[in-house]
Chains A and B, each alone.
Chain A
Amino acid sequence: MANKLAYGAHENFTNRELSWLDFNYRVLDEARDKSVPLLERVNFLGITQSNLDEFFSVRVASITKLVSFNYHKPDASGLTAKQQLSKINQKAHQMLTKQYTTYNRSLLPALNQVEIHLKEINELSNEQYAFVREYFHDELFPVLTPMADDSSRPFPFISNDSLNLGIRLTKKDESQKHNYYSVLAIPTSLGRLIKLPEADNDFILIENVIKEFIGQFFIGYLPQTIVTFRVIRDLDLDVAEEDTSDFIKKVQQQLRQREHGRVMRLEVESSIDSRTKKRLLKKLDVAEQSLYEINGPLDLGFLKKWSGMISGHDDLRYPSFKGYGSENLSQGYNIFKAIAKKDQFMHYPYDSFDPVIEFIRQAAFDPQVLAIKMTLYRVSGSSPIIKYLGNAARNGKQVTVLVELKARFDEKNNVHWAQQLEKMGCHVIYGLLGLKTHSKLTMVIRKEESGIRRYMHLGTGNYNDATAHFYTDMGLFTSRNDIGEDVANIFNMLSGYSEPPYFHQLHISPDGIRKFITAKLNAAIDLAGKGQEIQIFMKMNSLSDKKIISKLYEASHAGVKIDLLVRGICCLKPGRPKISENITAHSIVGRFLEHSRIYAFTTQGQTEIYLSSADMMTRNLDRRVEQLFPILDPEIKQEVINIYQHMWNDNIKTRELKANGHYEKIDRRGKESLDSQEYFMTQANKKTKVQAKARKELQDQSRFQPFSAPRPTLDSSTESESGK
């Protein structure tokens, strides 16, 4: 097609990093949204900070490396690495202003109104002042070590994300001519916030206490300037991850050794004097554009902790929510029977994550179970899953666990789990060289009367019981034989055996998912060309792969109607004439982190639904092991379609990506308001109520029943609990 070249033109793409910053803006908007409970807004602002820190230590780090290599090739949107870097810093500076305006002008005043205070040292009552003085002497003084910064020794190493004080001093007995410098690292072990006595919710930041009494370290000197500063360093350990060519990767590897830990961003208090500023820039080797002067406390990440430390004020938080747990997937019921009878669909967190844990628990203790195989990517701190896998191994089941060591920022954690699992007698495998395993699969092999049967859970999200409470994900329990064979093959593949010549139902990255989605889009383009009405909807976290985006443009141009729900990065530009007129893109940012991936194709009224662990990003399609699986059960299919439609019709938390690249709230005039996350929670609560009522009725009926012999098959503890 003559147009083919046009689809790939630079102007049709948004730069990936800038699009990510847009996403962080949307999170920031939540912190500014007055309809969001106050303490949650505080939390959202904290999230924007930690997001940004990660972004700088990985993405910006990666681009900085390209710049220092003089890599001139532009990205899909036509920007060179250098141009990207300057645009990123520009946009990040704007974001910083907005973050602190939000903090200083909206959140702090609103908190003060409800008697929640973050006090300055001069605002303390006498008793509070006495408290912090004592705190300084007892807790802080022993652990603080100021380090002199002079020509006789190297500048002290400032570790990533740590808060530090930069101090300029003069000697008391000298006539103010000579400047002395010192650096003091603020320990992270004590926490950033100190709760003050005399009030329910008075707090002070630890650096302000240290500043107040800092003179005690420098007897005979006068502190002239004391400023807080922080650095974000290059933490990009996993080079193979990034969307660049192989050659670059090699170079990056070399550069990394030289440059590892280079400072990507330096934050200082805006009260800094120019002497100290210059000194820090020089000593830390930071470019001017990477310097961020901040009007307020550094590192708003503490806000996430703060909202948790505040006592009372539950009215200022989201009402507590517990996902619906279907009875037949709970303790006391045979979960395998339920799955064998029918595929079970889960929509987390509206459906409780407990059945997944229960699935592993029952597998560990069920005498018919022979083996368990599972992929673990990020595991929560006190994961019951690990415990049950250990139980299973001790009970003589064959337990094979794939632990992905390379999950970013979790490397250490993962090594720990891998060793722990091995100690418990599990067979631990580490996946394939050069490919991160991102698949989320569990398989339980069970010997039944009719023969061996496999039970699977396939998911769009990690097996992490902690994040399952606020990530929206989808999961499927099934015992279909064809899917069982596919999953068994994936585990074999991950153990180093040849990829099978074909899969029955699943599609697997690397390559497989890209091929499948491309083939689907090609088929859609074909049919649309023949005048058929084709509709595609997709939901994912990020859309950045150039080839897939170009294919979507081609489909749009052929007349295929495409609805996209992309929470984060979206390099596609919708609504461009002759390119993407038929594409609409939404983003939902709300209480829960949208995390499920859905790919659906409607031809002649027939919809095919696929769920996946993969985003449409180059790394997910080419350099990771990911799975895509179909929803075959007609009822479940309908359920997913309904869910999607509610998400698509959301007009509270949704922003639409416009052709000009801006995200705008949906115009609600004349429409009924719909907050999809809210809606799903309400539905879940209703289901929970109905179930509780049914259970109560059953008990009422049996209240006057004579005793019968106890039934040993049911777990007695659940029975007594429900009898309360």
Chain B
Amino acid sequence: MASRYFGAIILNVVGLELRIADLKTGETLEHVQKNLQLSDDIYNQNALSVDSVNQIVDGLRGFVQLLHDYRIKDFQLWSSQAISNVKNADFVADQLYMHTGLSVEWLSLSQETFFRVQEVLHRVRQSQEKLKGITYIISITSGDTMIVKLDDGKFTANQSFSLGPAKIAEDLESLFQEAPNSTGVLNDYIASKLNDFNRSTNQKPSNVILVGTLPLKNLITHGKDDSKELVFNEFEELQDSLINASGQFLAEHYGIENQYLPLVLPEILLLKHLLILTNAQKINLSNASMLDGLILNQAVQHGFLKRDLFKQTIKQAENLARHYRIEPKHQQLVTDLALHLFDQLKPMHQMGKRERLLLKVAAILHDCGNYIGGHDHYIHSEYIIRNSDIFGLSKLETEIVALVSRYHSVQTPGNDYSSFTQMPVAQRIIVAKLAAILRLADALDDDRQQKIKDIIVSLKPKKVIITAKSNERLSFENWVFKTKSQFFTETFGLKVTLKQRRIQANGK
């Protein structure tokens, strides 16, 4: 069995955090934090200073010592998206590796929210409660805001804004010093950034679950760890008492640390806007953190917990597909065929669940470029996907999906395209293999008439035989298949042939 204990380390704008968890029981063995002030580096300088990196290194060294204390073999350092954006991010990652032996894995914004949401849903599930009606999970980090919409507890959509309290505070620092009525300006600023929030004419009343680590939680819970619920009116009262409060008052009454004081006003105003936009009735504060979500994810990966963590990613892909009006019949069939091929060919490609998920997302979205235009649609698909937040996928994974979609049709992976060559070799192979499979699946319904409903895949020593069940004439398919299977043969070193089997009256 895989190791029971896992050490999850996260580096974000406010500091470092380590949690060593028992994946089997979900209990925490060690939980350590080190506060660092990186927001100036990140939002103003756009680079981490030598001094900051040294502080991070010191903190991480202590974490490594703790991991040694418990002889933990499985651990991972993640870093939030905000830090991956600084211009010296790659150097920082290398320095951290040289000094501590830890390789950093950058999280995308959608992953950050994804892990938080997973944790929230996990807790809801643990508590046996049911979420009814519309629920929004609002996740506010220092520089970003993500909103996830649930209907009866089921994921329906998410949206993100590059807007968070630390970022607002840094952006408007000079303004605060000059404008006497900064609240008004602040409101306008926030409103302008949120204007593309999906506001349907009559937003149904909703409940909001707030996640995030920022000061507001302290304001409401007075530093205690309990989750707390308040109604919208209470929030407004709180806002009134805070809007003109002095820093000293906040520090003394709410125990807000000095470094967070400038963030209080931006956060509370931002939240107010969001609560109005979501027509929030009740607000719950959850202390579910990203780190908890990452650990939950590990527990699932290591087989200690059974959860389908891909559901929401798929749902998000389907949302996007609907948004770009992808023709559903072809999409459904290609997805089925691609996954069937993937599963049957497993002995020779040796890819895992995660790659299967990427293939599925690519299959769902591979034709989204048609929304722009049929000609070279695969190129449009690529950039649409690259610039979409697909819930739960890392930046690199999103890139893989984009490239697999690009190569599903006419072009094949090669050294002539920089996006492909910039990718690490291991990922390039994944792109090639997934693209080869998706091409085959797509070729089997190239004329979009769904003549082939089902296939049988048999893997022989030197070739693959795909038997298509169909009573129709497949000469077109055969012709397309021949050209498109060429890439499959190159990738896997196996010939692939298409055979037809007629379906009997009884369906066999």
Residues of A within 8 A of B (CB): 370-371, 373, 398, 400, 427, 445, 447, 451-452, 485, 488-489, 492, 495-498, 500-502
Contact = CB atoms under 8 A, between A and B. Distances in A.
A676 B438 CA distance: 86
A492 B68 contact: no
B29 interface: yes
Contact of A370 (B28, B31, B59, B71): B71
A429 B412 CA distance: 58
Given A451-B22, A498-B33, A492 B66 contact: yes
Given A445-B69, A495-B62, A502-B225, A452 B29 contact: yes
B34 interface: yes
B30 A492 contact: yes
Given A400-B65, A452-B5, A497 B30 contact: no
Contacts of B5: 452
15 contacts: A370-B71, A371-B68, A373-B69, A398-B69, A445-B69, A447-B71, A451-B22, A488-B29, A489-B31, A496-B34, A496-B62, A497-B62, A498-B15, A498-B34, A500-B31
A497 B55 CA distance: 12
Interface string B1-30: 000110000000001000000101100111
Interface string B210-250: 00000000000001110000000000000000000000000
Contacts of B62: 492, 495-497
Contacts of B29: 452, 488
Contacts of B59: 497
A447 B29 CA distance: 12
Nearest to A499: B33
B70 interface: yes
A445 B65 CA distance: 14
B32 A497 contact: yes
Contact of A492 (B32, B71, B225): B32
Interface hub of A452, A488, A501 (most chain B Cβ within 10 A): A452
Nearest to B71: A370
A105 to B, nearest CB: 61
A485 B25 CA distance: 16
A489 B22 CA distance: 17
A367 to B, nearest CB: 12
Contacts of A371: 68-70
Contacts of A373: 69
A452 B6 CA distance: 12
Contact of B69 (A370, A489, A502): A370
B35 interface: yes
B32 A400 contact: no
Nearest to A492: B32
A482 to B, nearest CB: 11
Nearest to B287: A501
A373 B24 CA distance: 26
B70 A452 contact: yes
Interface residues of B, number: 26
A452 B72 CA distance: 11
A370 B30 CA distance: 15
Contacts of B33: 497-498, 500
Given A371-B70, A451-B22, A501-B223, A398 B65 contact: yes
Contacts of A452: 5, 22, 29, 70
Interface hub of A373, A488, A492, A497 (most chain B Cβ within 10 A): A497
Contacts of A489: 31-32
Given A452-B5, A452-B29, A492-B30, A501 B71 contact: no
B405 to A, nearest CB: 45
B70 A370 contact: yes
B69 A400 contact: yes
Nearest to B4: A451
Given A445-B69, A498-B35, A502-B224, 17 more contacts: A370-B69, A371-B68, A400-B65, A445-B70, A447-B71, A451-B24, A451-B25, A452-B29, A452-B70, A485-B28, A488-B29, A489-B31, A489-B32, A495-B62, A496-B58, A498-B33, A498-B34
Contacts of A495: 62
A370 B20 CA distance: 15
A495 B30 CA distance: 14
Contacts of B69: 370-371, 373, 398, 400, 445
A708 to B, nearest CB: 37
Contacts of B34: 496-498
B332 to A, nearest CB: 46
Contacts of B66: 492
A501 B30 contact: no
A299 B396 CA distance: 79
A381 to B, nearest CB: 29
Nearest to A370: B71
Nearest to A484: B29
B63 to A, nearest CB: 9
B7 to A, nearest CB: 12
A372 to B, nearest CB: 9
Nearest to A498: B33
Nearest to B66: A492
Contacts of A445: 69-70
Question: Top 7 nearest A-B pairs by Cβ distance?
Answer: A371-B69, A498-B33, A398-B69, A492-B32, A497-B32, A370-B71, A497-B34
Nearest to B25: A451
A497 B33 CA distance: 6
A501 B70 contact: no
Nearest to B24: A451
Given A451-B4, A502-B225, A398 B68 contact: yes
Nearest to A493: B32
Nearest to A451: B22
B213 to A, nearest CB: 11
A502 B33 CA distance: 13
Nearest to A502: B225
A488 B65 CA distance: 13
A500 B29 CA distance: 14
A502 B218 CA distance: 13
Contact of A427 (B31, B32, B65): B65
B385 to A, nearest CB: 40
B31 to A, nearest CB: 7
Contacts of B70: 370-371, 445, 452
Contacts of B30: 488, 492
A445 B59 CA distance: 22
A495 B69 CA distance: 14
A392 to B, nearest CB: 12
Interface in B65-80: 65-66, 68-71
A502 B287 CA distance: 14
B5 to A, nearest CB: 7
B328 to A, nearest CB: 49
A691 B33 CA distance: 48
